[in-house]
Amino acid sequence: MPTITVVGSINMDLVVRAGRFPAAGETLLGDTFATIAGGKGANQAVAAQRLGGRVAMVGCVGDDAFGVSMRDGLSDEGIDVSRVDVRAGQPSGVALITVDGTGENTIIVVPGANGTLSGEDVEAAREILASSRVLLLQLEVPLEAVQRAARIAADAGAAVILNAAPAASLPDTLIGLAEYVVVNESEIFALAGDAADRQGAVRTLHDRGARNVVLTLGAAGAILFAADGAVTTEVAFAVDVVDTTAAGDAFVGAFAVALAEGLTAAEALRRGNAAGALAVTREGAQPSLPRREDVDAWLATQR
């Protein structure tokens, strides 16, 4: 049985690289185009599998060429895809990604089959969810499915990690089911509402039931705010950025594997930072995700 289950999106990324982002109404000639498997759920599943987790994926793809390719790709990674359903008559999800000359990106996601993932689909995966040590969730699939999965896993004693991305308004019941809520700086303010500063946003999430808030800050590292007031900070690693796509997913995947293996929160943050740093040095979403030996070797040089 898996140590980590991911309930989430499976997309094909259509990636254009250009020297800069176009202005509104502007037509700009790009440099390159690539079709790369992605989706926050699938990315985190691949990241966790490559970093040593035994991973199962719960999600949906369309009955098109993208769907076949993505499901097969997850299986080839060693991920259990028995609960990745092929939706007849539905297109697979896609993400339109533009990467500029500095490695920054803009992303538009069209859910496709991901938008059909239901509570019933999650119930069908109950045995897998209940046997996992860690459940990874994001917000690129319907909230009903996310909430049902969180309840099943939490009731079974699994650690629920909610990566609250893309930013959305969430019910307190879901926040309270998550042992770790992982957000970046824009997402934490979207989730916390009218908080005036970072500390206020963290307090708001704790008041709403969050036990641990993990704030990812890119080149500034990551901070864990525990409900008891403890704060754990891990600095980032300096690297030359090529493409920031999936850096957050690499972090979350590494963080989940570390927790599943019983490492401390500080060690989990450090491994997450290392995985994210390695990911931004390579192009693409899943192609950029590092393997366990990569992270171990990198950390050995950073001591």
Which residues lie across from 108 on neighbouring strands? 96
Is residue 15, in this structure, part of any structural domain at all?
Answer: no
Is residue 103, in this structure, part of any structural domain at all?
Answer: no
Is residue 66, in this structure, part of any structural domain at all?
Answer: yes
**Pairing between β-strand 11-17 and β-strand 32-38 as defined by DSSP bridges:** antiparallel
Is residue 297, in this structure, part of any structural domain at all?
Answer: yes
Is residue 219, in this structure, part of any structural domain at all?
Answer: yes
Instruction: Give the pLDDT confidence score for residue 196 in this predicted structure.
Output: 76
Total-model pTM: 0.93
Q: With cut-offs at 50, 70 and 90, classify the pLDDT of residue 65.
A: very high
Cα separation of 276 and 185, whole Å?
A: 16
Record the tokens describing residue 165, joined without a space: 């991305």
Instruction: Give the pLDDT confidence score for residue 107 in this predicted structure.
Output: 84
Does residue 303 have a pLDDT over 70? no
Per-residue pLDDT tens digits for 107-148: 888 999 999 999 999 999 999 999 999 999 999 999 999 999
Is residue 118, in this structure, part of any structural domain at all?
Answer: yes
Which residue range(s) make up the domain with 264?
4-9+39-92+112-302
CB 290 within 8 A of CB 278: yes
CB 253 within 8 A of CB 294: no
Is residue 177, in this structure, part of any structural domain at all?
Answer: yes
Cα separation of 58 and 46, whole Å?
A: 13
Instruction: Give the pLDDT confidence score for residue 124 in this predicted structure.
Output: 97
Is residue 17, in this structure, part of any structural domain at all?
Answer: no
Nearest-CA neighbor of 8 among 134, 137, 126, 123?
Answer: 137
Active site residues: 249
Per-residue pLDDT tens digits for 196-248: 789 999 999 999 999 999 999 988 899 999 989 999 999 888 888 888 878 99
Q: With cut-offs at 50, 70 and 90, classify the pLDDT of residue 104.
A: confident
What separation, in Å, do the N-terminal and C-terminal C-alpha atoms of the chain show? 35
Look up the CATH number of the domain holding residue 153: 3.40.1190.20
Percentage helix, strand, coil for the chain under 3-state DSSP, each rounded to 5: 40, 25, 35
Does residue 34 have a pLDDT over 70? yes
Domain count, the chain: 1
Instruction: Give the pLDDT confidence score for residue 298 in this predicted structure.
Output: 87
Cα separation of 252 and 273, whole Å?
A: 9
Instruction: Give the pLDDT confidence score for residue 195 in this predicted structure.
Output: 76
Position 218: which residue type?
G
Does residue 5 have a pLDDT over 70? yes
**If you average pLDDT over residues 76-89, what whole number do you get?**
97
Instruction: Give the pLDDT confidence score for residue 106 in this predicted structure.
Output: 87
Instruction: Give the pLDDT confidence score for residue 292 in this predicted structure.
Output: 97
Instruction: Give the pLDDT confidence score for residue 302 in this predicted structure.
Output: 83
Instruction: Return mean pLDDT, the chain.
Output: 94
Instruction: Give the pLDDT confidence score for residue 85 in this predicted structure.
Output: 97
